Structure 1
Protein backbone atom coordinates (compact mmCIF):
# COMPACT_ATOMS: atom_id res chain seq x y z
CA UNK A 1 0.00 0.00 0.00
CA UNK A 2 1.08 3.58 -0.47
CA UNK A 3 2.40 5.35 2.59
CA UNK A 4 4.21 2.35 4.05
CA UNK A 5 7.63 3.13 2.53
CA UNK A 6 10.10 4.16 5.23
CA UNK A 7 13.12 6.46 4.90
CA UNK A 8 12.36 7.10 1.22
CA UNK A 9 13.56 10.71 1.13
CA UNK A 10 16.76 9.92 3.00
CA UNK A 11 17.54 7.07 0.64
CA UNK A 12 16.84 9.10 -2.51
CA UNK A 13 18.88 12.04 -1.21
CA UNK A 14 21.84 9.74 -0.60
CA UNK A 15 21.57 8.28 -4.13
CA UNK A 16 21.43 11.78 -5.65
CA UNK A 17 24.42 12.84 -3.58
CA UNK A 18 26.49 9.87 -4.76
CA UNK A 19 25.56 10.76 -8.35
CA UNK A 20 26.73 14.30 -7.80
CA UNK A 21 23.43 16.04 -8.42
CA UNK A 22 20.53 17.59 -6.57
CA UNK A 23 17.63 15.40 -5.55
CA UNK A 24 14.71 15.77 -7.95
CA UNK A 25 12.07 17.92 -6.28
CA UNK A 26 9.10 16.95 -8.44
CA UNK A 27 7.63 13.74 -9.78
CA UNK A 28 8.66 12.52 -13.23
CA UNK A 29 5.89 13.21 -15.72
CA UNK A 30 4.49 10.03 -17.19
CA UNK A 31 4.94 10.00 -20.99
CA UNK A 32 1.86 9.89 -23.18
CA UNK A 33 2.38 7.44 -26.01
CA UNK A 34 0.55 7.97 -29.30
CA UNK A 35 0.49 4.23 -30.01
CA UNK A 36 -0.18 1.46 -27.49
CA UNK A 37 0.26 -1.92 -29.19
CA UNK A 38 0.12 -3.71 -25.86
CA UNK A 39 -3.60 -2.96 -25.67
CA UNK A 40 -4.34 -4.44 -29.10
CA UNK A 41 -3.71 -8.11 -28.29
CA UNK A 42 -7.04 -9.94 -27.87
CA UNK A 43 -8.65 -6.55 -27.37
CA UNK A 44 -12.09 -7.57 -28.65
CA UNK A 45 -12.05 -11.10 -27.22
CA UNK A 46 -14.92 -12.18 -24.99
CA UNK A 47 -14.61 -14.69 -22.13
CA UNK A 48 -15.12 -17.71 -24.39
CA UNK A 49 -12.51 -16.49 -26.87
CA UNK A 50 -10.04 -15.82 -24.05
CA UNK A 51 -10.62 -19.38 -22.85
CA UNK A 52 -9.85 -20.72 -26.33
CA UNK A 53 -6.63 -18.69 -26.38
CA UNK A 54 -5.72 -20.13 -22.97
CA UNK A 55 -6.40 -23.68 -24.19
CA UNK A 56 -4.12 -23.15 -27.17
CA UNK A 57 -1.33 -21.75 -25.02
CA UNK A 58 -1.55 -24.60 -22.50
CA UNK A 59 -0.61 -27.05 -25.25
CA UNK A 60 2.64 -25.10 -25.62
CA UNK A 61 3.52 -24.83 -21.93
CA UNK A 62 3.05 -28.51 -21.01
CA UNK A 63 -0.02 -27.80 -18.89
CA UNK A 64 -3.19 -29.87 -18.64
CA UNK A 65 -6.35 -27.80 -18.90
CA UNK A 66 -9.78 -28.92 -17.78
CA UNK A 67 -13.04 -26.97 -17.93
CA UNK A 68 -15.87 -27.65 -15.50
CA UNK A 69 -18.51 -25.93 -13.39
CA UNK A 70 -18.96 -25.62 -9.65
CA UNK A 71 -21.27 -28.66 -9.51
CA UNK A 72 -18.66 -30.95 -11.07
CA UNK A 73 -15.54 -29.28 -9.66
CA UNK A 74 -15.05 -31.66 -6.70
CA UNK A 75 -15.14 -34.64 -9.04
CA UNK A 76 -12.73 -32.95 -11.46
CA UNK A 77 -10.27 -32.05 -8.69
CA UNK A 78 -10.44 -35.57 -7.30
CA UNK A 79 -9.77 -37.07 -10.73
CA UNK A 80 -6.74 -34.90 -11.54
CA UNK A 81 -5.25 -35.50 -8.09
CA UNK A 82 -5.66 -39.24 -8.59
CA UNK A 83 -4.15 -39.01 -12.07
CA UNK A 84 -1.14 -37.15 -10.65
CA UNK A 85 -0.52 -39.86 -8.04
CA UNK A 86 -2.73 -38.86 -5.11
CA UNK A 87 -1.69 -37.23 -1.84
CA UNK A 88 -0.28 -35.82 0.25
CA UNK A 89 -2.05 -32.63 -0.81
CA UNK A 90 -1.39 -29.11 0.45
CA UNK A 91 -3.79 -26.26 -0.24
CA UNK A 92 -4.37 -22.66 0.65
CA UNK A 93 -6.82 -21.93 3.45
CA UNK A 94 -9.16 -19.91 1.27
CA UNK A 95 -12.87 -19.19 1.58
CA UNK A 96 -13.23 -19.57 -2.17
CA UNK A 97 -12.72 -23.33 -1.85
CA UNK A 98 -15.93 -23.40 0.18
CA UNK A 99 -17.73 -21.26 -2.40
CA UNK A 100 -16.65 -23.74 -5.07
CA UNK A 101 -18.09 -26.64 -3.05
CA UNK A 102 -14.75 -28.27 -2.21
CA UNK A 103 -15.14 -28.33 1.59
CA UNK A 104 -16.67 -31.84 1.69
CA UNK A 105 -13.82 -33.15 -0.48
CA UNK A 106 -11.16 -31.58 1.74
CA UNK A 107 -12.80 -32.28 5.11
CA UNK A 108 -14.67 -35.54 4.61
CA UNK A 109 -14.06 -37.50 1.42
CA UNK A 110 -10.27 -37.38 1.24
CA UNK A 111 -9.75 -38.09 4.98
CA UNK A 112 -12.03 -41.13 4.67
CA UNK A 113 -10.03 -42.32 1.66
CA UNK A 114 -6.75 -41.77 3.57
CA UNK A 115 -5.66 -38.98 1.24
CA UNK A 116 -3.61 -36.71 3.45
CA UNK A 117 -4.41 -33.00 3.03
CA UNK A 118 -3.01 -29.99 4.84
CA UNK A 119 -4.53 -26.51 4.62
CA UNK A 120 -2.04 -23.68 5.07
CA UNK A 121 -2.34 -22.22 8.57
CA UNK A 122 -0.25 -19.15 9.28
CA UNK A 123 -0.22 -19.94 13.00
CA UNK A 124 1.89 -23.05 12.25
CA UNK A 125 4.58 -20.80 10.78
CA UNK A 126 7.48 -22.75 9.20
CA UNK A 127 5.81 -26.10 9.70
CA UNK A 128 3.62 -25.22 6.72
CA UNK A 129 6.71 -25.25 4.50
CA UNK A 130 7.50 -28.77 5.69
CA UNK A 131 4.05 -29.93 4.62
CA UNK A 132 4.53 -28.28 1.22
CA UNK A 133 7.95 -29.91 0.77
CA UNK A 134 6.53 -33.40 1.32
CA UNK A 135 3.29 -32.86 -0.59
CA UNK A 136 2.73 -34.49 -3.95
CA UNK A 137 0.21 -31.88 -5.08
CA UNK A 138 -0.39 -28.22 -4.23
CA UNK A 139 -3.78 -26.61 -4.89
CA UNK A 140 -4.15 -22.85 -5.30
CA UNK A 141 -6.48 -20.34 -7.00
CA UNK A 142 -5.62 -17.84 -9.74
CA UNK A 143 -6.61 -14.23 -9.02
CA UNK A 144 -5.89 -13.04 -12.56
CA UNK A 145 -5.24 -15.30 -15.55
CA UNK A 146 -3.39 -14.20 -18.69
CA UNK A 147 -4.85 -15.92 -21.74
CA UNK A 148 -2.04 -14.95 -24.10
CA UNK A 149 0.75 -16.58 -22.11
CA UNK A 150 -1.18 -19.14 -20.07
CA UNK A 151 -0.11 -17.46 -16.84
CA UNK A 152 -1.86 -17.74 -13.48
CA UNK A 153 -1.39 -14.78 -11.14
CA UNK A 154 -1.39 -15.79 -7.48
CA UNK A 155 -1.69 -13.27 -4.64
CA UNK A 156 -0.02 -14.57 -1.50
CA UNK A 157 -1.38 -13.94 1.99
CA UNK A 158 -1.12 -15.18 5.55
CA UNK A 159 -3.12 -18.32 4.69
CA UNK A 160 -2.02 -18.40 1.04
CA UNK A 161 1.55 -19.59 1.26
CA UNK A 162 3.61 -19.01 -1.86
CA UNK A 163 5.39 -22.36 -1.46
CA UNK A 164 2.14 -24.25 -2.11
CA UNK A 165 2.52 -23.57 -5.82
CA UNK A 166 6.16 -24.56 -6.29
CA UNK A 167 7.35 -27.04 -3.64
CA UNK A 168 5.00 -30.00 -4.34
CA UNK A 169 5.72 -32.30 -7.29
CA UNK A 170 2.56 -31.17 -9.10
CA UNK A 171 0.54 -27.97 -9.13
CA UNK A 172 -3.23 -27.72 -9.60
CA UNK A 173 -4.50 -24.17 -10.05
CA UNK A 174 -8.21 -23.35 -10.03
CA UNK A 175 -9.08 -20.63 -12.54
CA UNK A 176 -12.41 -18.81 -12.26
CA UNK A 177 -13.41 -18.03 -15.84
CA UNK A 178 -14.08 -14.44 -14.77
CA UNK A 179 -10.37 -14.07 -13.91
CA UNK A 180 -9.35 -14.31 -17.59
CA UNK A 181 -7.79 -11.21 -19.15
CA UNK A 182 -5.87 -10.89 -22.43
CA UNK A 183 -2.31 -10.42 -21.17
CA UNK A 184 0.16 -8.88 -18.72
CA UNK A 185 -0.94 -5.37 -19.72
CA UNK A 186 -4.34 -5.77 -18.10
CA UNK A 187 -2.99 -7.57 -15.03
CA UNK A 188 -0.47 -4.82 -14.30
CA UNK A 189 -3.17 -2.19 -14.75
CA UNK A 190 -5.53 -3.99 -12.38
CA UNK A 191 -2.86 -4.31 -9.70
CA UNK A 192 -1.92 -0.63 -10.04
CA UNK A 193 -5.57 0.40 -9.74
CA UNK A 194 -5.89 -1.55 -6.50
CA UNK A 195 -2.89 0.27 -5.10
CA UNK A 196 -4.25 3.65 -6.18
CA UNK A 197 -7.57 2.86 -4.47
CA UNK A 198 -5.68 2.21 -1.25
CA UNK A 199 -6.39 -1.52 -1.19
CA UNK A 200 -3.91 -3.80 0.51
CA UNK A 201 -2.06 -5.71 -2.19
CA UNK A 202 -0.18 -8.93 -1.54
CA UNK A 203 3.50 -8.49 -0.71
CA UNK A 204 4.27 -11.38 -3.06
CA UNK A 205 2.51 -11.82 -6.40
CA UNK A 206 3.56 -14.89 -8.37
CA UNK A 207 3.14 -15.12 -12.15
CA UNK A 208 3.13 -18.85 -12.91
CA UNK A 209 3.18 -20.25 -16.42
CA UNK A 210 2.77 -24.01 -16.25
CA UNK A 211 5.29 -26.39 -14.67
CA UNK A 212 8.81 -25.21 -13.94
CA UNK A 213 11.17 -25.34 -16.91
CA UNK A 214 14.48 -24.01 -18.13
CA UNK A 215 16.41 -23.86 -21.39
CA UNK A 216 19.55 -22.36 -19.88
CA UNK A 217 21.76 -25.25 -20.98
CA UNK A 218 22.35 -25.20 -24.74
CA UNK A 219 18.78 -23.97 -25.29
CA UNK A 220 17.38 -27.43 -24.61
CA UNK A 221 14.05 -27.18 -22.76
CA UNK A 222 13.87 -29.23 -19.56
CA UNK A 223 10.55 -29.34 -17.71
CA UNK A 224 10.50 -29.72 -13.93
CA UNK A 225 13.92 -28.45 -12.89
CA UNK A 226 13.13 -26.30 -9.88
CA UNK A 227 9.47 -26.79 -9.04
CA UNK A 228 6.42 -28.80 -10.08
CA UNK A 229 7.04 -31.27 -12.89
CA UNK A 230 3.33 -31.34 -13.72
CA UNK A 231 0.71 -28.62 -13.78
CA UNK A 232 -3.02 -28.49 -14.40
CA UNK A 233 -5.38 -25.56 -14.74
CA UNK A 234 -9.04 -26.18 -13.90
CA UNK A 235 -11.21 -23.46 -15.40
CA UNK A 236 -14.46 -23.01 -13.49
CA UNK A 237 -17.42 -21.65 -15.40
CA UNK A 238 -18.88 -18.65 -13.59
CA UNK A 239 -21.48 -19.36 -10.95
Structure 2
Protein backbone atom coordinates (compact mmCIF):
# COMPACT_ATOMS: atom_id res chain seq x y z
CA UNK A 1 0.00 0.00 0.00
CA UNK A 2 1.40 3.40 -1.03
CA UNK A 3 0.62 6.56 0.93
CA UNK A 4 0.71 9.77 -1.09
CA UNK A 5 1.27 13.33 0.20
CA UNK A 6 1.45 12.17 3.81
CA UNK A 7 4.01 14.74 4.95
CA UNK A 8 2.25 17.59 3.18
CA UNK A 9 -1.07 16.58 4.76
CA UNK A 10 0.35 16.29 8.30
CA UNK A 11 2.23 19.57 7.99
CA UNK A 12 -0.97 21.27 6.90
CA UNK A 13 -2.83 19.88 9.94
CA UNK A 14 -0.10 21.07 12.33
CA UNK A 15 -0.10 24.53 10.73
CA UNK A 16 -3.88 24.75 11.03
CA UNK A 17 -3.61 23.87 14.72
CA UNK A 18 -0.98 26.58 15.19
CA UNK A 19 1.71 24.29 16.60
CA UNK A 20 4.85 22.49 15.45
CA UNK A 21 4.52 19.11 13.83
CA UNK A 22 4.76 16.29 16.39
CA UNK A 23 7.12 13.52 15.29
CA UNK A 24 7.60 11.52 18.49
CA UNK A 25 5.22 8.75 19.50
CA UNK A 26 2.84 9.36 22.38
CA UNK A 27 4.06 7.65 25.53
CA UNK A 28 1.56 5.34 27.16
CA UNK A 29 0.86 6.54 30.73
CA UNK A 30 1.33 4.31 33.75
CA UNK A 31 -2.12 4.23 35.28
CA UNK A 32 -2.33 4.08 39.08
CA UNK A 33 -5.63 2.22 38.94
CA UNK A 34 -6.31 -0.56 36.44
CA UNK A 35 -9.73 -2.08 37.18
CA UNK A 36 -9.89 -3.52 33.68
CA UNK A 37 -7.13 -5.99 34.55
CA UNK A 38 -7.57 -6.27 38.30
CA UNK A 39 -11.20 -7.33 38.32
CA UNK A 40 -11.63 -11.09 38.71
CA UNK A 41 -7.88 -11.70 38.44
CA UNK A 42 -7.96 -13.90 41.56
CA UNK A 43 -10.79 -16.10 40.29
CA UNK A 44 -9.92 -19.72 39.64
CA UNK A 45 -10.83 -21.33 36.33
CA UNK A 46 -13.69 -23.21 38.00
CA UNK A 47 -15.02 -19.98 39.52
CA UNK A 48 -14.93 -18.32 36.10
CA UNK A 49 -16.83 -21.24 34.59
CA UNK A 50 -19.43 -20.95 37.35
CA UNK A 51 -19.72 -17.19 36.65
CA UNK A 52 -20.11 -17.88 32.94
CA UNK A 53 -22.79 -20.49 33.55
CA UNK A 54 -24.82 -18.26 35.87
CA UNK A 55 -24.65 -15.30 33.50
CA UNK A 56 -25.53 -17.43 30.48
CA UNK A 57 -28.63 -18.79 32.18
CA UNK A 58 -29.56 -15.24 33.21
CA UNK A 59 -29.69 -14.17 29.56
CA UNK A 60 -31.66 -17.19 28.42
CA UNK A 61 -28.95 -19.57 27.27
CA UNK A 62 -29.20 -23.32 27.81
CA UNK A 63 -25.89 -24.50 29.32
CA UNK A 64 -24.51 -28.02 29.15
CA UNK A 65 -21.14 -29.28 30.39
CA UNK A 66 -19.40 -32.43 29.24
CA UNK A 67 -16.09 -34.11 28.59
CA UNK A 68 -14.46 -34.15 25.19
CA UNK A 69 -15.24 -37.80 24.58
CA UNK A 70 -18.94 -37.19 25.33
CA UNK A 71 -19.31 -34.08 23.17
CA UNK A 72 -20.95 -35.81 20.20
CA UNK A 73 -23.66 -37.32 22.40
CA UNK A 74 -24.40 -33.98 24.11
CA UNK A 75 -24.38 -32.10 20.80
CA UNK A 76 -26.79 -34.63 19.33
CA UNK A 77 -29.12 -34.06 22.30
CA UNK A 78 -28.94 -30.28 21.85
CA UNK A 79 -29.76 -30.56 18.14
CA UNK A 80 -32.67 -32.89 18.87
CA UNK A 81 -34.02 -30.49 21.51
CA UNK A 82 -34.20 -27.77 18.84
CA UNK A 83 -35.75 -30.11 16.31
CA UNK A 84 -33.21 -29.02 13.75
CA UNK A 85 -32.28 -30.83 10.55
CA UNK A 86 -30.42 -28.22 8.49
CA UNK A 87 -27.08 -27.43 10.10
CA UNK A 88 -24.42 -24.91 9.07
CA UNK A 89 -20.98 -24.94 10.65
CA UNK A 90 -17.44 -23.73 10.07
CA UNK A 91 -14.64 -25.49 8.25
CA UNK A 92 -12.64 -25.81 11.46
CA UNK A 93 -9.74 -28.12 12.34
CA UNK A 94 -11.37 -28.65 15.71
CA UNK A 95 -14.20 -30.55 14.02
CA UNK A 96 -11.77 -33.41 13.52
CA UNK A 97 -10.06 -32.97 16.87
CA UNK A 98 -13.37 -33.17 18.76
CA UNK A 99 -14.87 -35.98 16.69
CA UNK A 100 -17.49 -33.83 14.98
CA UNK A 101 -16.49 -34.48 11.36
CA UNK A 102 -17.42 -38.15 11.62
CA UNK A 103 -20.68 -37.21 13.34
CA UNK A 104 -21.62 -34.68 10.64
CA UNK A 105 -20.83 -37.18 7.89
CA UNK A 106 -22.65 -40.14 9.41
CA UNK A 107 -25.87 -38.68 10.82
CA UNK A 108 -28.61 -39.61 8.31
CA UNK A 109 -31.23 -37.23 9.69
CA UNK A 110 -29.09 -34.11 9.36
CA UNK A 111 -28.24 -31.92 6.39
CA UNK A 112 -24.88 -30.44 7.38
CA UNK A 113 -23.24 -27.68 5.36
CA UNK A 114 -19.58 -26.98 6.08
CA UNK A 115 -18.71 -23.38 5.18
CA UNK A 116 -17.12 -23.48 1.74
CA UNK A 117 -15.16 -20.42 0.61
CA UNK A 118 -15.29 -21.57 -3.02
CA UNK A 119 -19.05 -20.95 -3.32
CA UNK A 120 -18.93 -17.42 -1.94
CA UNK A 121 -22.24 -15.81 -1.00
CA UNK A 122 -24.10 -19.08 -1.47
CA UNK A 123 -22.89 -19.88 2.07
CA UNK A 124 -24.92 -16.94 3.37
CA UNK A 125 -28.07 -18.16 1.63
CA UNK A 126 -27.58 -21.61 3.17
CA UNK A 127 -27.00 -20.11 6.63
CA UNK A 128 -30.16 -18.04 6.26
CA UNK A 129 -32.21 -21.19 5.67
CA UNK A 130 -30.48 -23.30 8.31
CA UNK A 131 -32.16 -24.44 11.50
CA UNK A 132 -29.00 -24.37 13.62
CA UNK A 133 -25.60 -22.72 13.39
CA UNK A 134 -22.71 -24.39 15.25
CA UNK A 135 -19.31 -22.83 15.99
CA UNK A 136 -16.46 -23.18 18.44
CA UNK A 137 -15.70 -20.29 20.77
CA UNK A 138 -12.15 -18.93 20.45
CA UNK A 139 -12.27 -16.85 23.63
CA UNK A 140 -15.15 -16.94 26.12
CA UNK A 141 -15.87 -14.03 28.47
CA UNK A 142 -17.14 -15.22 31.85
CA UNK A 143 -18.39 -11.83 33.03
CA UNK A 144 -20.93 -11.43 30.23
CA UNK A 145 -21.24 -15.02 28.95
CA UNK A 146 -19.93 -13.85 25.59
CA UNK A 147 -18.59 -16.11 22.87
CA UNK A 148 -15.76 -14.66 20.77
CA UNK A 149 -15.32 -15.93 17.21
CA UNK A 150 -12.44 -15.06 14.91
CA UNK A 151 -14.20 -15.08 11.55
CA UNK A 152 -12.32 -15.89 8.37
CA UNK A 153 -12.92 -17.39 4.92
CA UNK A 154 -13.72 -20.76 6.50
CA UNK A 155 -15.82 -19.45 9.38
CA UNK A 156 -18.37 -16.92 8.22
CA UNK A 157 -20.07 -14.47 10.56
CA UNK A 158 -23.44 -15.65 9.20
CA UNK A 159 -23.12 -19.06 10.88
CA UNK A 160 -23.84 -17.59 14.30
CA UNK A 161 -26.41 -14.94 13.39
CA UNK A 162 -28.63 -16.20 10.57
CA UNK A 163 -29.95 -19.66 11.59
CA UNK A 164 -32.99 -19.91 13.84
CA UNK A 165 -30.95 -21.39 16.71
CA UNK A 166 -27.30 -21.33 17.69
CA UNK A 167 -24.99 -23.76 19.49
CA UNK A 168 -21.58 -22.67 20.75
CA UNK A 169 -19.02 -25.31 21.64
CA UNK A 170 -16.83 -23.84 24.37
CA UNK A 171 -13.59 -25.56 25.38
CA UNK A 172 -13.17 -24.56 29.02
CA UNK A 173 -9.57 -23.59 28.23
CA UNK A 174 -10.98 -20.58 26.33
CA UNK A 175 -12.71 -19.08 29.38
CA UNK A 176 -11.25 -15.75 30.58
CA UNK A 177 -12.62 -13.17 33.02
CA UNK A 178 -13.77 -10.39 30.67
CA UNK A 179 -13.31 -8.38 27.48
CA UNK A 180 -9.95 -7.07 28.71
CA UNK A 181 -8.31 -10.45 28.21
CA UNK A 182 -9.81 -10.86 24.73
CA UNK A 183 -8.48 -7.45 23.67
CA UNK A 184 -5.07 -8.27 25.15
CA UNK A 185 -4.97 -11.52 23.16
CA UNK A 186 -5.67 -9.64 19.93
CA UNK A 187 -3.06 -6.99 20.73
CA UNK A 188 -0.43 -9.65 21.37
CA UNK A 189 -1.15 -11.30 18.03
CA UNK A 190 -0.72 -7.96 16.28
CA UNK A 191 2.53 -7.29 18.15
CA UNK A 192 3.81 -10.70 17.02
CA UNK A 193 3.13 -9.79 13.42
CA UNK A 194 0.26 -12.23 12.97
CA UNK A 195 -2.47 -11.69 10.42
CA UNK A 196 -5.63 -10.72 12.31
CA UNK A 197 -9.07 -11.74 11.08
CA UNK A 198 -11.03 -8.94 9.43
CA UNK A 199 -14.06 -9.70 11.62
CA UNK A 200 -14.16 -10.66 15.29
CA UNK A 201 -17.65 -11.52 16.55
CA UNK A 202 -18.73 -11.11 20.17
CA UNK A 203 -21.97 -13.05 20.69
CA UNK A 204 -23.87 -12.93 23.95
CA UNK A 205 -26.69 -15.43 23.98
CA UNK A 206 -29.81 -15.35 21.78
CA UNK A 207 -30.92 -12.21 20.00
CA UNK A 208 -32.67 -9.75 22.34
CA UNK A 209 -34.19 -6.36 21.72
CA UNK A 210 -36.48 -4.01 23.63
CA UNK A 211 -38.47 -0.98 22.49
CA UNK A 212 -38.90 2.31 24.35
CA UNK A 213 -41.41 0.67 26.68
CA UNK A 214 -38.85 -2.05 27.51
CA UNK A 215 -40.90 -4.82 25.95
CA UNK A 216 -38.44 -7.64 25.33
CA UNK A 217 -38.48 -9.29 21.91
CA UNK A 218 -36.31 -12.32 21.13
CA UNK A 219 -34.95 -13.25 17.73
CA UNK A 220 -35.16 -9.90 15.92
CA UNK A 221 -31.48 -9.69 15.01
CA UNK A 222 -30.36 -13.30 15.26
CA UNK A 223 -31.08 -16.75 16.71
CA UNK A 224 -34.13 -17.21 18.90
CA UNK A 225 -32.44 -19.80 21.13
CA UNK A 226 -28.86 -20.53 22.09
CA UNK A 227 -27.03 -23.37 23.79
CA UNK A 228 -23.52 -23.28 25.21
CA UNK A 229 -21.77 -26.65 25.50
CA UNK A 230 -18.81 -26.38 27.87
CA UNK A 231 -16.20 -29.01 27.09
CA UNK A 232 -13.61 -30.10 29.66
CA UNK A 233 -10.47 -31.15 27.82
TM-score interval for Structure 1 and Structure 2 normalised by the shorter chain = over 0.9
Tell me the distance in 2 between the aligned counterparts of 1:15 and 1:128. 47
* 1:12 CA drift (Å): 9.8
* 1:13 CA drift (Å): 3.0
Write the deviation string for residues 60-112 of structure 1: whole angstroms up to 9, x where unpaired. 21111110111110111111111112121000010101101111210112xx2
Write the deviation string for residues 118-170 of structure 1: whole angstroms up to 9, x where unpaired. 00010111111111010010001110000011001000011111110000011
* 1:29 CA drift (Å): 1.6
Partner-residue secondary structure (3-state), 2:153: coil
Write the deviation string for residues 183-222 of structure 1: whole angstroms up to 9, x where unpaired. 0111111110111011111110011100111224323332
Bigger CA radius of gyration: 2
Q: TM-score, normalised by structure 2?
A: 0.92
Aligned 8 A contact 2:130 2:163 in 1: yes
1:229 to 217, 220, 224: 224
Partner-residue secondary structure (3-state), 1:72: helix
RMSD: 2.1
Tell me the distance in 2 between the aligned counterparts of 1:27 and 1:229. 47
* 1:40 CA drift (Å): 2.4
Task: Structure 2 unaligned segments of length 5 or more: list them.
Answer: none
Counterpart residue number, 1:64: 62
1:7 aligns to 2:29 (yes or no):
no
**Equivalence map 1:30-179=2 (5 Å):** 30-109=28-107, 112-113=108-109, 115-179=110-174
Taking a change above 3 Å as real, the CA distance of residues 24 and 13 of structure 1, as seen in their structure-2 partners, is: farther
Write the deviation string for residues 10-67 of structure 1: whole angstroms up to 9, x where unpaired. 3993696399236532222212100111222221112111110001101221111110
Aligned 8 A contact 2:14 2:21 in 1: no
Tell me the distance in 1 between the aligned counterparts of 2:160 and 2:139. 15
1:207 aligns to 2:215 (yes or no):
no
Tell me the distance in 2 between the aligned counterparts of 1:223 and 1:237. 30
Taking a change above 3 Å as real, the CA distance of residues 97 and 28 of structure 1, as seen in their structure-2 partners, is: same
